[in-house]
Amino acid sequence: MSKTSNFLPPADSPPKGLTDCDVRLRSQLSRSISRLFFDACDSSTQSLLKECDWAISTHASLTLSIDCSTEAKNLQVLNHIVVLVNHLYQFSPSIRIRVYPPVGTGVPFDMRANERVVY
């Protein structure tokens, strides 16, 4: 059974797909949140982010992806993960962080906001 109601008029139904405008708006939202997130971080977190490739996407949930170039940088990011989650949590309660280690050295580490209490 579909989650959308069959009783809605077509104009009130969700769109079938994304338009070019939707894609541009999502991209602008990701860039704006990225800028606000970085500005909200303390100086040590900003320094760490500057040493990695990172991006924020807004597809299914607010997701911060961090690519680490070295195993040492990967360990620094993982040791800083709760701070990163707390900074990102300001923008949405439904967030995820994915940390990618250097190629060939392991698997990505995922953490959601509700998992931060474990750490």
Q: What is the pLDDT of residues 52-105, one digit of tens each?
A: 999 999 877 889 999 999 999 999 999 999 889 888 888 888 899 999 999 888
pLDDT tens-digit readout, 36-46: 999 999 999 99
Strands 62-67 and 95-100: parallel
Please tell me the pTM assigned to this model. Answer: 0.78
Residue 74 to residue 66: CA distance in whole angstroms: 9
Token couple for 105: 């050295």
